[in-house]
Amino acid sequence: MKSIVYLITTNGMGSTTEQPLKQKLVTTFLALSLEHQPLPSAICFYTDGVKLACESSPVLEQLQKLEAAGVRLVLCQTCLNYYELQDKVKVGIVGGMGDIITLMTEADSVITL
């Protein structure tokens, strides 16, 4: 089966500065991702993207369902430390950039959202 890794690098989806729109788009995308096969093998979060896996994120439910379905969720430790979010992680595992590089190089496709 094809291995797909998503990279989420912003607190939402898209390059707009409109935060409510970015969060609505990522919520819809992740919810619909649950309905499509194949699921990504992993979703990697870095820079502002780590905020989506922390408390008060609008997509925690979708991420928990993806994780329960076997999708690996990997959060950049350096980014969590930078934003002082280490104690606010609600889903996924904390990893390093080496983990993210390994997942990307082993994937058949890498998609940045």
The DSSP element (H or E) to which 73 belongs, if any, is strand 72-76
Residue 2 has a pLDDT of 85
Name which of 90, 94, 32 is nearest 58 in CA terms: 90
Higher pLDDT pick, 63 / 16: 63
- DSSP tag of 95: E
Residue whose entry in the numeric block shows the structure tokens 């993806």: 66
Q: Which amino acid is at 11?
A: N
Residue 99 has a pLDDT of 96
Half-sphere exposure of 98 (CA within 13 A, CB side): 0
Q: How far apart are CA 49 and CA 9, in angstroms?
A: 4
Q: Is the pTM of this model over 0.75?
A: yes
Helix runs in the chain, H state only = 19-33, 60-68, 77-82, 97-106
Question: Residue 29: pLDDT band by 50, 70, 90 thresholds?
Answer: very high
Q: How far apart are CA 107 and CA 14, in angstroms?
A: 23
pLDDT > 90? residue 1: no
Q: Could you tell me the domains of the chain? A: 4-112 (3.40.1260.10)
pLDDT in tens, 49-86: 999 999 999 999 999 999 999 999 999 999 999 999 99
Residue 80 has a pLDDT of 98
